[in-house]
Amino acid sequence: MIKVLDPGLYSTIQDNGRYGYRNIGVPYSGFMDQDSAIEANKIIGNKVNESLLEITLMGPTLLFNDNYTLSITGGDFTPQLNDKKIEMYKPIEVKLGDVLKINQTSNGARCYLAFSGGITSKSYLGSKSSYKSITPSYFLKRGDEIKVNKSNKSNFISDSKSKFLLTSFLNVFSGPEFNFLEKDSVDNLFNKEFTIGINNRMAYNLTEKIQTKTKSIISSPVLPGTIQMTPSGNIIILHRDCQTTGGYSRILQLNEKSLNDLSQLKIGDKIKFKLIN
């Protein structure tokens, strides 16, 4: 059992997502940065889709009531075990009474905390991923207790070759309504630098606008990574918790790697789009 002494800013249980229910409006959810989450599980011998903690901007403080093996990947949150800094991207042994503190990020927006054996929690519609209108608990709270499936496996990776790198260049495909854009709008889209504005697991808003005559469309399917443009020129990039349909023009679509990269950017960070088709 692991007790939450301090929940941090926004820490949730996630696995690889909830599939097969988009026809009734249920989003995929799951790991925002799939590469980092999968690596956290691999390091301690878990299945790549095993549930873990996704931590955003400022991490939790946890008290261990048993012995566990864990790993931390993704952005650098300077994690400390009993007030001593510990390495990321390595298996870490913790013992009864140990306290893990994951601090405020110094690089990146999210990190991933995996426990050997995975987190014991109930699946809803085939997934343990937290989502506001589906799971009873949405994010960690002070006093919560996290149960872990203890594992006897020891196939840990002590020398992970993975490294965390931030990038401001996002690779995109043209979207279904890309050809609705005028030439000047397209030129601005790929020559201009954009600033990350208000964002969450559902979508990222960009601060700068594009002058356009694009109109709304009949509500149509959207996916994580769909880039929408409103009639007023606002740009919205959908992410893992996004809705299943939308009425704004779908001008671009992020590839999977860039969707992961975007999840590690914060308000004020700059991005540029690169068309890859």
Q: Render pLDDT for 230-275 as a digit per residue (tens, 0 to 9).
A: 999 999 999 999 999 999 999 999 999 999 999 999 999 999 999 9
Instruction: Check: CB of residue 229 under 8 Å from CB of residue 235.
Output: yes
pLDDT over threshold 90, residue 209: yes
User: Who contacts 214 (Cβ-Cβ below 8 Å, separation ≥6)?
Assistant: 177, 180, 181, 185, 229, 231, 249, 251
Strand pairing partners for 160?
none
CATH 2.40.100.10 residue ranges in the chain? 169-275
Q: For residue 213, is pLDDT > 80?
A: no
- Inter-residue contact 78 to 85 (CB < 8 Å): yes
Q: What is the mean pLDDT of residues 47-65?
A: 97
Quick one: CA torsion of 119, 224, 55, 260, rounded to 10 degrees?
110
State how far the alpha carbon of 241 is from the alpha carbons of 41, 119, 168, 203, 222, in Å: 22, 21, 22, 8, 11
- The rounded distance, in Å, linking the Cα atoms of 275 and 62 is 43
Q: Is the pLDDT at 13 greater than 80, yes or no?
A: yes
Q: What pLDDT band is residue 130 in, cutting at 50, 70 and 90? A: very high
Q: Which two tokens stand for residue 113?
A: 């905390």
CATH number of 169-275: 2.40.100.10
User: Given the structure tokens 């059992």, which residue do they identify?
Assistant: 1
pLDDT of residue 155: 80
Identity (one letter) of the amino acid at 183?
K
pLDDT reading at 154 higher than 80: no
* Residue 251: predicted pLDDT: 96
Q: Which of 266, 265, 261 is nearest to 274 (CA)?
A: 261
Q: How large a percentage of the chain has pLDDT more than 90?
A: 90
Mean pLDDT score, 8-19: 96
Q: Is the pLDDT of residue 2 over 80?
A: yes
Provide the pLDDT confidence category of residue 25 given band limits of 50, 70 and 90: very high
Q: pTM, whole model, 2 decimals?
A: 0.95
- Name the pLDDT band for 53 (thresholds 50, 70, 90): very high
75 or 155: which leads in pLDDT: 75
| pLDDT at 113 exceeding the cut of 90 | yes
What angle (nearest 5°) sits at the alpha carbon of residue 169, between those of residues 167 and 175? 135
Using pLDDT thresholds of 50, 70 and 90, give the confidence band for residue 123.
very high
The per-residue pLDDT for 240 is 98
Average confidence (pLDDT) over 196-219: 92
Number of H helices, E strands in the chain: 3, 21
Judge whether 258 and 225 are in contact, CB under 8 Å: yes
Q: Mean pLDDT for the chain?
A: 95
d(CA 218, CA 225): 19
